[in-house]
A and B are shown apart, each in its own frame.
Chain A
Amino acid sequence: MTEGKNQVENVELNEEGFLVHPEKWNEQIACWLARSQEGIDNLTEDHWKIINYLRSYWERHGLAPMIRLLCQETGFSLRKIYELFPSGPAKGACKVAGLPKPDGCV
């Protein structure tokens, strides 16, 4: 646990709370990001479904998936995704999944 805590303490964030080194992400960091940056105290199974999909898509493609894929792959409706991550898919879900901030109006 101490080791885990240290791991989290060494995490570098940019000014907007995104990981400076997205490759250093792990599940413990995700919980900490959710709590400290997004105010989500408990990551539920539904949250993890989204986080895991985002993470694996990013590892394969180097960018965040379209919301269509996120909905279709997780089976969640748009509204459900916005409920789970109130800051939205980019600044909420992608941040917790340790992805870099996407370009554009986000």
Chain B
Amino acid sequence: MIEKNWDSQVKQALSRGLDFERAVQLSTCVRCGLCAESCHYYLVEKDVKAIPAYKLKIVEQVFNYYLNSSGRFLTFWFGSQRLKASTVEKWLDILFGRCSLCGRCSLNCPMGIKIHDLVRLGRSILAELGLVPSGLASTISTTINSDNNMGIKTEEWIGTVRWLEEELRRELEDSSVCLPLDREGAKILYAINPREAKFFPLSLLAVGKIFHAAGESWTLSSNYYDVTNYAYFSGQEALAAEFFRRLEISMKRLNCQMLVLTECGHGFVSARWEAPAWLGYQPDFEIRSILEIMADYVQQGKLKLDPSRNNLPVTLHDPCNLVRLGGLLNEARFLIRQSVKNFIEMKPRGIENFCCGGGGGQLAMTEFAARRQKAGQIKARQIKETGAKIVVAPCHNCLDQLLELNRIYKLGVQLKTVTEIVAEALVF
């Protein structure tokens, strides 16, 4: 990497991304090292560079140089570090290449430091310098330049909805079933992950069945329907706000009351918890995950489920963004218990669950793929230990990583979304 003077860009990114809380947290770590054992990268690599406190330290050093006047002059005393080419290389390798922003370290930090959030701050500085790793940058630019992160054209999406609608009618032998598109005034707008439309549409068929069975008023949108927000992974918050605003535009255009999100971890955290801060206001509609909606249906007696339809042993992978960082602790397991006969929990589970290894934009960054696959061995071991034949994961990103782990570690399991497993148990 060529040496450059990045001072003004770093200061700009820091002043934009650094609020009081982040500034205090950057000066709080006491290097106790308890976070090490919480990180799947460290557990697999046993490399100091993977210890969350180390990731935090390299961000803190740069923060001390630029925003602490004593730190700039007494660099040795403060351990402060000007951003040089060698620092940038280290940051790229560690902040992008050795962290999936899963937040397990933050949960286990006795000082309460949100380490993963500060890693994201570091990433945002690299993004300011135009140094987002190519795979992630290309997914983001596809989203900017088209309607969604896979570049699906409107007519292709409409064609897919019509095709799936026919499939659904054939399967249910009922010509009145619809996959409504652009239905103005519907109560729910359902936002999808483009991966469902492009390659894995079984979850769309499943959600169509469930909404039909519950008699819901809902619609899909012909444009701006993408629940993902890859700018969250690169720390580009202004851009992340733009991506969220697209969903808001669809909500207004179709005059819906509630935005319901498909099974997507970072999409849920972005829309439900982060968006208000990015936007500077609270959206005037409710934002919920499809898991919450389905759990409500079951509790209200709107869905009749027969667990004997799913006899194979089933386990659940808790997506970090949905559970540890998103707060949906019980919905997925409640729905699975209602839909299958034999449910086995992983150890650890819930908020202490290990990341699959595919989060934080890792799946998009081909340059770090080998490390990601290796880091996934903890999840692979967890799955093996359950003896389950079906792994349910309410996140399309996790599912893709699990598909790879299934092949690499010869797990021999089927992978499903919660929506799919519920739809299979559905009795009409």
**A contact residues vs B (CB 8 Å cutoff):** 14-16, 18, 38-39, 63-64, 66-68, 71-72, 78, 86-91, 101-106
Contact = CB atoms under 8 A, between A and B. Distances in A.
A103 B160 contact: no
Interface of B: 135, 138-139, 142, 149-152, 156, 159-160, 163-164, 193-195, 197-202, 228, 363-364, 366-370, 396-397, 400, 403-404, 406-407
Contact of B407 (A18, A39, A104, A105): A39
A15 B367 contact: yes
A66 B142 contact: no
Contact of A66 (B138, B139, B156, B403): B156
A90 B150 CA distance: 12
A103 B409 CA distance: 24
A105 B400 CA distance: 7
B263 to A, nearest CB: 11
B401 to A, nearest CB: 9
- Majority secondary structure, A binding face: loop
B195 A104 contact: yes
5 contacts: A68-B156, A68-B160, A88-B200, A102-B198, A104-B198
A58 to B, nearest CB: 13
Given A68-B159, A105-B195, A91 B366 contact: no
A97 B111 CA distance: 51
B142 A103 contact: yes
B397 A66 contact: no
Nearest to B415: A88
Contact of A91 (B138, B201, B404): B404
Contacts of B202: 78
Contact of A67 (B135, B139, B199, B367): B199
B152 A105 contact: no
A105 B403 contact: no
Contacts of A39: 407
Contact of A89 (B164, B199, B396): B199
A99 B202 CA distance: 23
Contacts of B199: 67, 88-90, 102, 106
Given A86-B407, A105-B396, A66 B366 contact: no
Residue among B149, B198, B396, B397 with most chain A CB within 10 A = B198
Contact of A105 (B151, B160, B193, B370): B193
Given A66-B160, A67-B199, A105 B363 contact: yes
Nearest to A16: B369
A91 to B, nearest CB: 7
